[in-house]
């Protein structure tokens, strides 16, 4: 063909095309404008902090490209790469979204497809209009208890962008406090209510006998259901990791470490500890067996019991079997806990003869009748008589936030408040909102509005909530009995979820608001929950991605639309607030004669570290009480440790008696009527913070067949024809999940481990009973209160079975797998 | 005086009478101006000048009665309770550890015992005593109520930074004391402000109903030999 | 359909075709666009595209939407939901994140090297992404727009510039297609096919891949014949 002819044909088509396209310009508006973008983004290193510690972010042209630990972090967490990844993960919520049916029909829309993932993008204006209208409608129609804002979860570090405080702040100033709040948490639900009755204080979140003292004076270090090597990676504020060097030091001493745990944990391996593979859920029985041994062999410390405790005489008849014809002997205990009687006695004698620290974790109280566990532990410790002595007694927070890391002499930053000051009326005396529920009873509340419930000696009624606003949390990960939750969730008229990630909870929302991560905004935080050894400038690393906005900005805007912008912001910008929190610390610094740098110097340096006085390194918990129990009484009625509690006696609860007792839980290995043969150990994950970071590269390091790993003992695996790497179905009457088998004898027989926090991925989103393709342990656990006393959650109660999965695998998408050709 | 809740309807009758009294002309109020409540902590002295011996510490919200006035100084008396064997630590009520004062050891000999009782729940013996000392004038409130407003301001703002707002009457008087030992420093507030919050919470605790909070009236009892 | 007149789109329309394809992914299909397709010019445009095998299935889908006026509103909503499920993260692990980084980067993240390469390229071309599009430049819509721009410049070069520059412009497009588009779009297309409840985007992605492959081959052939 001649070039000229080609040209003519082409030209004709070009004209046709151009004309067609000309009027269709709007079909494809140009995405490109002439002129290169303004100066490329920032390049440099930014220091900031997170639950995982202080770290440096390398930024290149405005993009976060690498992460490295703070050079002063004694034991950086391997999860930092995951932290960076979470910012750029395809699981980011990019735009405001509304559930399709809800967009069409509002709160009257059918709710059975909630969780099905049918969302439509909307503008911020449209999304916020919906949110504000709903807040107003619900509170007008249903009164002050219509909106649930208990919103529990681990959110992000930072004194300003504390999304849960900000949510309540908005509701307090903008909606006159018309919301239902929550109390307590999923970490220590049972013990935080029991400990005040026993030792008159919170105990679980209090500074432990300092590690240097443990290193020096403890002869036998017992980790009872605790795995500090794993769990000390994270902190509620910014993790300091200060416990790790001390754990190294203790290891070097060669002194005895014992791990009482159904698993051979990271901690057990680190210390080369003696592993006591107790049958799960039977710790109280084991403790009773030890206690009985001490008493029978006259090893119990009568003087200590007499001077520092009350009620041992009332507990004794139960221990000896006088009351129920069942002496709690080592033999009796062995039957229940599977630790041989001889070993039980040996341990009791060992603990008595040597300076022993009983460091207990919270798994043993996150169970049916969990209140008994630490009560009995303290009773045992009282019989050993070493409470208040250097390196002796018990500690309930060595595994959490680096408890025992010596406290610095440092100022405490103030932070954004929940605006409750604004709420008028006497209600503030008795409620922290229009009503409050124990946090783990949220589904019970939704299912049973108006129902009476017992809680720590009081009777209360569940409010009738119609709307939930959730931020900084993922109940479709942390709440037990997933299918029950899915079903109950449908009773809510409107659900708003504000997050940076497409968590399962976001998928179960009607309105989804994209929040920035900590790394796309400025904030400030203390470092070290117990040491409080530094303050870190949480400097913005990159600009917000997509259309995400900071939690502060979102709630300020909603407050504005409720007519209360000034009350919410107090006229302050983000940096104004941060400076004001710092100013409070400077003020303390002056009063305590601590050198606190000027704000600009601090912000430039990025971190201010404070000295740790020698005195802190010598801190012994309860030593003051031991030295002078009259001058330093405990906060109990008697001023002493209450092995028998009159307060609890008066409650007359059938599931929580006046002294520690062994109660059969609803289901346990070897228990009466146990329907399934394996105990589910749903401990905190190694490479996540609960469910945070599940959508990142870290998963590649642990996922098996693309799913949550399920550790199974070789005997149990062999009996079921399961090999390492197989996809397995874990199931019981409450639910079913797929997981990837890891055959190992690090888990004792008849126990499987499925870390909590795996992202719920139902094959049929929104359908109760659907198979979860990823491995969310809480599909299998029961949603019951620990007892009427604490109404805590029971994540560590539950039996199941496992089988090799032979069906068609539900499609699993992992973005690192390029396909096609 | 019985502790008040902020809800008018829950005040006992006596509270209402006092409210009425406060409305009366100044001359008739003279007697009640002598009943005061510490708005901040005070140091006890043995005499009306700074150089005299320090005798101990008076705590926020403690109820005192003025016995004598000198320029810049007051001689005050207070009634309080201590656990048998621990005379240095004085509380507002038997079994309820709301700190009123802590005395130097040397001062305990000056305590006058008014009565004693045994707590049926704990078998602990509590003694009601009266004590006199000098304190510097200034920093009082005519009622505890006046202290609760600033206390609430502090509590509602400083105590919601790290956790949900706690509800005062979900906890007992004695538990609050232990909690504030830990939580107080975490607010970063000066000690006296921490104490103000503590007392506020204690007076609104679950076991501070008007009835249970009223101290038993002194009942003439035959003194037991040896006590 | 044996008699169907199959006529590939002319190379002079390449810039416009890429811009049109870009537009399909830049945002959800809205009523404005539907009205444009339904108007005479739009119909003519669709008719012309339908003669090209690469676009027939997609055009049939668009025509299908236009046909059912009753169901239009519902279908639009369905398409918005499909778009959100596939490209805005609502589908979770069952989605097709429309970014080169997601498919090519070591960790399947966004904002990786592949994006940086687009940023560099934009700078080279003295262009920037309009700020109404809050997406990184390795988004399929931006990449297709860049290709559209390269095609436009090549077209101008073809009509005016000397042969070496024409070859260079052609080579540039081939490299761009190989490196930044066909390297990941087949996998993207597969994911759309697996997870698109509406079929629409599955067809759109398939059309892009089909057309790119043919176009790339045509460019290579033309380049060879020039040498």
CATH number at C220 reads 1.10.3480.10
A294, HSE (Cβ side, Cα atoms, 13 Å) = 25
- Cβ of A159 within 8 Å of Cβ of B161? The answer is yes
Asked if A11 has any chain C CB less than 8 Å from its own CB, the reply is yes
Give residue-wise pLDDT tens across range B151-187.
988 998 888 888 888 888 888 999 898 889 889 988 8
Tokens of residue A760, six digits:
């719920």
∠ CA(A262), CA(A264), CA(A266), 5° rounding? 125
CA dist A375 and A642 (Å) reads: 9
Say if A and B touch: at least 3 Cβ pairs within 8 Å: yes
Task: Tell me how many domains chain A contains.
Answer: 3
Residues in chain C closer than 8 A to A30 (CB atoms) = 19, 130, 145
DSSP letters along B68-88, please? EEETTEEEEEEEEEEETT-TT
- Claim to verify: residue A229 and residue A166 sit in the same structural domain: no
What 8-state DSSP symbol labels residue A269? H
- The residues pairing with A549 across neighbouring beta strands, listed in sequence order, are A515
* pLDDT above 80 (res B2): no
Question: Distance (Å) from the C-alpha of residue B27 to the closest C-alpha of chain A?
Answer: 33
Burial of B12 (0-12, 13-18, 19+ CB in 10 A): middle
Over residues A745-764, mean pLDDT: 95
> Nearest to residue A493, comparing CAs of A128, A171, A138?
A138
Tokens of residue A716, six digits:
């149990």
Residues in chain A closer than 8 A to C78 (CB atoms) = 100
Look up the domain containing C44 and give its range. 12-226
CA dist C138 and C136 (Å) reads: 6
∠ CA(C70), CA(C74), CA(C80), 5° rounding? 140
- Cβ of A119 within 8 Å of Cβ of C81? The answer is yes
Residues 145-184 of C with CB under 8 A from A: 145-146, 149, 184
Give residue-wise pLDDT tens across range B79-120.
999 999 999 999 999 999 999 999 999 999 999 999 999 999
Give residue-wise pLDDT tens across range A600-625.
999 999 999 999 999 999 999 999 99
- Claim to verify: residue A778 and residue A795 sit in the same structural domain: yes
Residue C148 lies in a domain: yes
Greater confidence (C12 vs A17) lies with C12
In terms of CA atoms, which chain B residue is nearest residue A196?
B175
- Cβ of A697 within 8 Å of Cβ of C141? The answer is no
* pLDDT above 80 (res A252): yes
CA dist A526 and A240 (Å) reads: 10
- The residues pairing with B118 across neighbouring beta strands, listed in sequence order, are B125
- Cβ of A646 within 8 Å of Cβ of B122? The answer is yes
DSSP letters along A389-428, please? STT-EEES-TTSTTTTSPPPS----------GGG--STHH
Contact between residue B198 and residue B100 where contact means Cβ atoms under 8 Å apart: no
- Cβ of B174 within 8 Å of Cβ of A420? The answer is no
The confidence score (pLDDT) of residue C224 equals 84
Tokens of residue C132, six digits:
């109404």
The confidence score (pLDDT) of residue A225 equals 98
The helix/strand/coil state of C29 is coil
Residue A815 lies in a domain: no
Residue C137 lies in a domain: yes
* pLDDT above 50 (res A676): yes
The confidence score (pLDDT) of residue C10 equals 82
Tokens of residue C85, six digits:
């499920």
Could you tell me how far CA A645 lies from the centroid of its own chain?
30
- The residues pairing with B63 across neighbouring beta strands, listed in sequence order, are B37
- Cβ of B175 within 8 Å of Cβ of A416? The answer is no
Tokens of residue B80, six digits:
């309080």
- The answer to which of A20-24, A186-190, A361-365, B77-81 has the lowest mean pLDDT is A20-24
- Claim to verify: residue A437 and residue A337 sit in the same structural domain: no
Contacting subunits of B (3+ beta carbon pairs below 8 A): A
* pLDDT above 80 (res A367): yes
Mutation target to probe the A interface, by most A beta carbons within 10 A, among C8, C9, C12, C44 is C12
Sign of the alpha-carbon dihedral angle for B184, B188, B192, B196: negative
Residue A196 lies in a domain: yes
Asked if A459 has any chain B CB less than 8 Å from its own CB, the reply is no
> Nearest to residue A382, comparing CAs of A283, A259, A295, A276?
A295
- Claim to verify: residue A627 and residue A603 sit in the same structural domain: no
Give residue-wise pLDDT tens across range A192-238.
999 999 999 999 999 999 999 999 999 999 999 999 999 999 999 99
CA dist A782 and A795 (Å) reads: 7
Asked if C48 has any chain A CB less than 8 Å from its own CB, the reply is yes
Nearest to C187 among A14, A85, A819 (CB): A819
- The answer to which of A32-36, A498-502, A576-580, C58-62 has the lowest mean pLDDT is A32-36
* pLDDT above 60 (res A671): yes
The helix/strand/coil state of A114 is coil
The average confidence (pLDDT) of chain A is: 93
Helices (H) and strands (E) counted in chain C, each on its own, are 11, 1
- Give the helix ranges, DSSP H, for A504-605: 504-507, 551-561, 565-569, 574-592, 599-605
Which residue matches tokens 């610390």?
A585
Nearest to A165 among B95, B97, B160 (CB): B160
The confidence score (pLDDT) of residue A427 equals 53
Q: What does each of the 227 residues of chain C score in pLDDT, given as a tens digit?
A: 455 668 888 888 899 999 999 999 999 999 989 999 999 989 999 999 999 999 999 999 999 999 988 899 999 999 999 999 999 999 988 899 999 999 999 889 999 999 999 999 999 999 999 989 999 999 999 999 999 999 999 988 887 778 787 788 889 999 999 999 999 999 999 999 999 999 999 999 999 999 999 999 999 998 888 76
List CB contacts of A537: < 8 A, sequence separation 6 or more: A47, A48, A522, A524, A602, A603, A605, A606, A607
How many C-beta neighbours within 10 Å does residue C217 have? 11
Through-space distance between the first and last CA atoms of chain A, rounded to whole angstroms:
34
**pLDDT class for A24, splitting at 50, 70, 90?**
low
> Nearest to residue A19, comparing CAs of C33, C21, C6, C12?
C12
**pLDDT class for A140, splitting at 50, 70, 90?**
very high
The confidence score (pLDDT) of residue A30 equals 86
- Claim to verify: residue A177 and residue A196 sit in the same structural domain: no
**pLDDT class for A430, splitting at 50, 70, 90?**
low
Mutation target to probe the B interface, by most B beta carbons within 10 A, among A420, A456, A531 is A420
Evaluate if pTM is beyond 0.90: yes
CA dist A205 and A398 (Å) reads: 10
Over residues A677-699, mean pLDDT: 94
The confidence score (pLDDT) of residue B8 equals 41
Helix (H) or strand (E) holding A265: none
How many C-beta neighbours within 10 Å does residue C92 have? 23
Over residues A42-49, mean pLDDT: 96
Instruction: For residue A50, report the phi and psi dihedrals to the nearest 5 degrees.
Output: -160, 175
Own/partner contacts of A5-11, CB < 8 Å, gap of 24 or more, are A9/C10, A10/C10, A10/C11, A10/C12, A11/C12
Look up the domain containing A139 and give its range. 97-183+411-609
Contacting subunits of A (3+ beta carbon pairs below 8 A): B, C
CA dist B35 and A182 (Å) reads: 40
**pLDDT class for B7, splitting at 50, 70, 90?**
very low
The confidence score (pLDDT) of residue A536 equals 98
Residue C3 lies in a domain: no
The confidence score (pLDDT) of residue A420 equals 81
- Cβ of A32 within 8 Å of Cβ of C20? The answer is no
CA dist C55 and C148 (Å) reads: 17
Residues 358-387 of A with CB under 8 A from B: none
- Claim to verify: residue A432 and residue A507 sit in the same structural domain: yes
Say if C and A touch: at least 3 Cβ pairs within 8 Å: yes
Greater confidence (A26 vs B148) lies with B148
Could you tell me how far CA C176 lies from the centroid of its own chain?
14
> What residues of A are annotated to the active site?
152, 154
- The residues pairing with A223 across neighbouring beta strands, listed in sequence order, are A259, A359
Sign of the alpha-carbon dihedral angle for A567, A573, A578, A584: negative
- Claim to verify: residue A523 and residue A623 sit in the same structural domain: no
Asked if A424 has any chain C CB less than 8 Å from its own CB, the reply is no
Question: Distance (Å) from the C-alpha of residue C184 to the closest C-alpha of chain A?
Answer: 7
**pLDDT class for A799, splitting at 50, 70, 90?**
very high
Over residues A696-706, mean pLDDT: 90
Asked if B97 has any chain A CB less than 8 Å from its own CB, the reply is yes
Residue A65 lies in a domain: no
What 8-state DSSP symbol labels residue A108? G
- Of all residues in chain A, what percent carry a pLDDT higher than 70? 94
Asked if A117 has any chain C CB less than 8 Å from its own CB, the reply is yes
The average confidence (pLDDT) of chain B is: 82
In chain C, what are the helix, strand and coil shares in percent, each to the nearest 5?
A: 70, 0, 30
Task: Tell me how many domains chain C contains.
Answer: 1
- Cβ of A201 within 8 Å of Cβ of B178? The answer is yes
- Claim to verify: residue A251 and residue A390 sit in the same structural domain: yes
What 8-state DSSP symbol labels residue A711? E
Residue C20 lies in a domain: yes
CA dist A600 and A582 (Å) reads: 11
Residues in chain A closer than 8 A to B152 (CB atoms) = 421, 428
Asked if A20 has any chain C CB less than 8 Å from its own CB, the reply is yes
Contact between residue C62 and residue C46 where contact means Cβ atoms under 8 Å apart: yes
DSSP letters along B28-51, please? HHGGGGGEEEESS-EEEESSSSTT
The helix/strand/coil state of A796 is coil
A-B CB pairs within 8 A amount to 132
Measured CA to CA in angstroms, residue A357 lies from A214, A215, A217, A361 at distances of: 8, 11, 9, 13
- Cβ of A430 within 8 Å of Cβ of B169? The answer is yes
Asked if A104 has any chain C CB less than 8 Å from its own CB, the reply is yes
Residues 658-717 of A with CB under 8 A from C: 696-697, 700
Say if B and C touch: at least 3 Cβ pairs within 8 Å: no
Question: Distance (Å) from the C-alpha of residue B147 to the closest C-alpha of chain A?
Answer: 15
Greater confidence (A631 vs A351) lies with A351
Could you tell me how far CA B46 lies from the centroid of its own chain?
20
- Cβ of A431 within 8 Å of Cβ of B167? The answer is yes
Asked if A245 has any chain B CB less than 8 Å from its own CB, the reply is no
* pLDDT above 60 (res A10): no
**Domain segments of chain B as ranges:** 36-141, 145-211
Question: Distance (Å) from the C-alpha of residue C15 to the closest C-alpha of chain A?
Answer: 10
In terms of CA atoms, which chain C residue is nearest residue A89?
C109
Give residue-wise pLDDT tens across range B188-218.
898 899 999 999 999 999 899 775 555 545 4
> Nearest to residue A436, comparing CAs of A182, A61, A187?
A182
The confidence score (pLDDT) of residue B161 equals 84
Residue A369 lies in a domain: yes
Tokens of residue A542, six digits:
């990159």
Contact between residue A666 and residue A368 where contact means Cβ atoms under 8 Å apart: yes
Residues in chain A closer than 8 A to C212 (CB atoms) = none
- Claim to verify: residue A495 and residue A563 sit in the same structural domain: yes
The confidence score (pLDDT) of residue B12 equals 55
Helices (H) and strands (E) counted in chain B, each on its own, are 6, 10
Report the DSSP pairing between strands B35-38 and B42-45. unpaired
> Nearest to residue C195, comparing CAs of B121, A27, A118?
A118
Contact between residue A620 and residue A614 where contact means Cβ atoms under 8 Å apart: no
- 3-class SS letters over A160-185: CCCHHHHHHHHHHHHCCCCCEEEECC
- Cβ of B160 within 8 Å of Cβ of A417? The answer is yes
């Amino acid at each position: 063909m001649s070039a000229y002819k080609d040209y003519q044909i082409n030209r004709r088509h070009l004209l046709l095309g151009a004309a067609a396209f000309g009027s269709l310009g709007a079909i494809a508006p140009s995405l490109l404008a002439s002129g290169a973008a303004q100066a490329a983004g920032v390049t440099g290193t930014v220091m900031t902090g997170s639950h995982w510690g202080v770290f440096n972010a390398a930024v290149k042209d405005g993009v976060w490209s690498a992460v490295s630990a703070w050079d002063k972090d004694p034991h950086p967490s391997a999860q930092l790469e995951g932290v960076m990844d979470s910012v750029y993960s395809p699981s980011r919520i990019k735009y405001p979204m509304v559930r399709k049916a809800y967009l069409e029909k509002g709160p009257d829309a059918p709710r059975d497809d909630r969780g099905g993932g049918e969302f439509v993008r909307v503008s911020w204006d449209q999304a916020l209009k919906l949110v504000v209208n709903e807040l107003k409608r619900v509170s007008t129609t249903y009164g002050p208890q219509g909106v649930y804002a208990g919103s529990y979860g681990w959110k992000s570090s930072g004194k300003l962008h504390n999304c849960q405080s900000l949510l309540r702040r908005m509701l307090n100033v903008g909606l006159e406090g018309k919301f239902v709040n929550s109390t307590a948490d999923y970490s220590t639900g049972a013990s935080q209510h029991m400990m005040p009755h026993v030792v008159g204080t919170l105990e679980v979140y209090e500074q432990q006998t300092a590690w240097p003292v443990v290193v020096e004076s403890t002869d036998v270090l017992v980790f009872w259901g605790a795995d500090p090597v794993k769990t000390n990676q994270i902190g509620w504020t910014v993790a300091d990791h200060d416990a790790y060097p001390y754990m190294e030091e203790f290891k070097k001493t060669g002194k005895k470490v014992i791990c009482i745990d159904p698993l051979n944990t990271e901690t057990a391996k680190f210390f080369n500890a003696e592993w006591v593979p107790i049958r799960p859920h039977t710790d109280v029985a084991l403790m009773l067996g030890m206690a009985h041994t001490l008493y029978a062999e006259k090893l119990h410390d009568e003087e200590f019991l007499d001077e520092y405790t009350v009620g041992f005489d009332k507990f004794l008849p139960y221990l000896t079997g006088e009351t129920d014809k069942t002496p709690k002997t080592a033999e009796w205990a062995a039957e229940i806990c599977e630790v041989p009687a001889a070993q039980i006695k040996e341990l009791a004698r060992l603990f008595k003869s040597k300076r022993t620290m009983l460091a207990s974790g919270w798994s043993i109280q996150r169970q049916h009748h969990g209140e008994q566990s630490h009560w009995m532990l303290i009773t045992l410790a009282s019989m050993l008589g070493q409470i208040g002595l250097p390196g002796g007694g018990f500690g309930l927070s060595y595994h959490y936030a680096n408890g025992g890391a010596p406290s610095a002499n440092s100022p405490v930053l103030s932070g954004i408040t929940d605006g409750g000051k604004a709420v008028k009326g006497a209600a503030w005396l008795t409620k922290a909102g229009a009503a409050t529920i124990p946090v783990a009873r949220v589904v019970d509340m939704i299912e049973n509005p108006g129902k009476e419930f017992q809680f720590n000696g009081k009777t209360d009624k569940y409010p009738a909530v119609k709307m939930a606003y959730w931020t900084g949390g993922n109940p479709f990960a942390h709440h037990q009995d997933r299918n029950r939750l899915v079903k109950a969730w449908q009773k809510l008229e409107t659900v708003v979820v504000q997050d940076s990630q497409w968590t399962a909870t976001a998928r179960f929302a009607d309105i989804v608001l994209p929040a920035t991560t900590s790394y796309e905004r400025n904030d400030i935080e203390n470092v070290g929950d117990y040491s409080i050894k530094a303050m870190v400038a949480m400097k913005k690393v990159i600009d917000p991605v997509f259309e995400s906005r900071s939690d502060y900005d979102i709630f300020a805007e909603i407050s504005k639309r409720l007519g209360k912008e000034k009350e919410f912001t107090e006229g302050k910008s983000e940096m104004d607030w941060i400076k004001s929190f710092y100013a409070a610390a400077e003020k303390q610094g002056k009063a305590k004669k601590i050198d606190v740098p000027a704000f600009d110097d601090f912000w430039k340096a990025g971190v201010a570290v404070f000295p740790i006085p020698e005195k802190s390194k010598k801190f012994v918990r309860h030593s003051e009480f031991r030295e002078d129990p009259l001058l330093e009484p405990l906060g109990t009625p008697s001023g002493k440790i209450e092995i028998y509690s009159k307060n609890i006696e008066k409650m007359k609860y059938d599931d929580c008696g006046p002294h520690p007792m062994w109660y059969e839980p609803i289901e346990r290995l070897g228990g009466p009527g146990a329907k399934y043969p394996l105990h589910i150990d749903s401990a905190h994950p190694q490479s996540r913070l609960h469910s945070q970071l599940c959508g990142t590269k870290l998963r590649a390091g642990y996922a098996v067949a693309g799913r949550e790993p399920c550790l199974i003992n070789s005997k149990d695996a062999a009996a079921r024809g399961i090999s390492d790497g197989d996809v397995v179905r874990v199931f019981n009457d409450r639910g079913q999940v797929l997981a990837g088998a890891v055959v190992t004898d690090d888990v004792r027989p008849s126990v499987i481990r499925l870390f909590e926090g795996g992202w719920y991925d139902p094959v049929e989103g929104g359908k109760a009973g659907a198979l979860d393709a990823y491995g969310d342990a809480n599909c299998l656990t029961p949603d019951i209160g620990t007892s009427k006393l604490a109404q805590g959650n029971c994540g560590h109660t539950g039996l199941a079975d496992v089988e090799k999965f032979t069906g068609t695998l539900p499609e699993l998408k992992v973005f690192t797998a390029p396909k096609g050709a | 005086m019985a502790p008040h809740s902020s809800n008018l309807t829950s005040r006992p009758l006596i509270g209402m009478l006092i409210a009425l009294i406060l409305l009366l002309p100044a001359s008739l109020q003279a007697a009640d101006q002598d009943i005061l409540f510490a708005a901040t902590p005070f140091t006890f002295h043995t005499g009306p000048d700074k150089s005299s011996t320090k005798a101990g510490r008076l705590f926020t919200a403690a109820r005192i009665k003025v016995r004598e006035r000198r320029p810049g100084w007051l001689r005050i008396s207070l009634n309080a309770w201590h656990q048998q064997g621990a005379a240095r630590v004085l509380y507002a009520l038997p079994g309820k550890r709301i700190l009123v004062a802590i005395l130097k050891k040397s001062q305990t000999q000056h305590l006058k015992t008014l009565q004693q009782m045994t707590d049926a729940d704990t078998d602990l013996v509590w003694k009601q005593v009266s004590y006199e000392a000098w304190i510097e004038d200034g920093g009082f409130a005519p009622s505890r109520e006046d202290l609760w407003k600033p206390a609430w301001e502090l509590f509602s703002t400083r105590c919601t930074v790290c956790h949900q707002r706690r509800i005062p009457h979900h906890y007992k008087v004695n538990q609050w004391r232990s909690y504030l030992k830990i939580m107080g420093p975490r607010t970063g507030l000066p000690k006296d402000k921490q104490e103000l919050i503590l007392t506020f919470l204690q007076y609104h605790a679950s076991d501070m109903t008007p009835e249970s909070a009223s101290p038993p009236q002194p009942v003439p009892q035959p003194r037991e030999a040896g006590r | 359909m044996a008699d169907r007149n199959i006529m590939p789109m002319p190379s002079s329309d390449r810039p416009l075709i890429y811009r049109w394809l870009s537009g399909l992914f830049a945002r959800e299909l809205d009523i404005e666009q539907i009205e444009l397709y339904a108007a005479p010019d739009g119909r003519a445009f669709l008719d012309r595209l339908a003669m090209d095998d690469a676009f027939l299935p997609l055009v049939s889908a668009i025509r299908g939407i236009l046909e059912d006026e009753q169901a239009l509103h519902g279908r639009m909503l369905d398409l918005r939901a499909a778009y959100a499920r596939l490209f805005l993260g609502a589908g979770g692990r069952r989605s097709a994140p429309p970014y080169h980084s997601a498919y090519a980067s070591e960790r399947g993240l966004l904002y990786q090297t592949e994006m940086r390469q687009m940023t560099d390229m934009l700078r080279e071309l003295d262009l920037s992404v309009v700020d109404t599009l809050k997406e990184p430049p390795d988004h399929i819509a931006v990449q297709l727009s860049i290709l559209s721009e390269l095609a436009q410049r090549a077209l101008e070069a073809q009509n005016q510039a000397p042969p070496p520059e024409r070859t260079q412009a052609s080579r540039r497009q081939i490299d761009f297609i190989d490196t930044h588009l066909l390297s990941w779009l087949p996998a993207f297309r597969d994911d759309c096919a697996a997870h698109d409840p509406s079929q629409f985007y599955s067809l759109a992605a398939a059309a892009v891949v089909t057309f790119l492959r043919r176009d790339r081959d045509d460019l290579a052939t033309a380049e060879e014949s020039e040498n």
